[in-house]
């Protein structure tokens, strides 16, 4: 069973950048890219950096500390020094609101 949690207004997102949300105390970043919304954990697995503060190019978010990158669609590490994936979260948008499935 899915537990979809309302985390943000779709209007709060803007193309090519991340924003932080904290549903249930989790630190998650939301991204709007090419009209789609994606979500990953907000903390870089390489260092103590917030990914929402990084640079988004295509579907890769660059860590603001060491320039490693992650794929926002899957959470996979795509550029060293990052080697461990960040968690990605299922997203749906309904009625102008962004929901995350936090049960997975």
In the chain, where do the E strands start and end? 4-9, 18-21, 28-33, 36-41, 55-57, 60-62, 69-71, 77-79, 88-89, 91-94, 97-101
pLDDT digits (tens, 9 = 90+) for 82-101: 999 999 999 999 999 999 99
Distance CA 61, CA 40 (A): 10
Residue 83: per-residue pLDDT: 94
Residue 74: per-residue pLDDT: 98
Q: Residue 25, class by beta-carbon neighbours within 10 Å (0-12 exposed, 13-18 middle, 19+ buried)?
A: exposed
Q: What are the φ/ψ torsions at residue 24 (nearest 5 degrees)?
A: 60, 25
Inform me whether the pLDDT recorded for 62 exceeds 90: yes
Place of tokens 């997203």: 91
């Amino acid at each position: 069973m899915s537990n979809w949690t309302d985390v943000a207004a779709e209007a709060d997102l803007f193309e090519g950048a991340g924003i932080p949300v904290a549903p249930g105390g989790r630190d998650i970043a939301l991204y709007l890219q090419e009209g789609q919304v994606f979500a990953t954990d907000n903390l870089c697995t390489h260092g103590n950096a917030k990914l929402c503060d990084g640079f988004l190019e295509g579907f890769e978010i660059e860590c603001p500390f060491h320039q490693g990158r992650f794929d926002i669609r899957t959470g996979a590490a795509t550029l060293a020094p990052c080697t461990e994936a960040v968690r990605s979260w299922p997203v749906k948008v309904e009625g102008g609101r962004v929901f995350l499935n936090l049960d997975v």
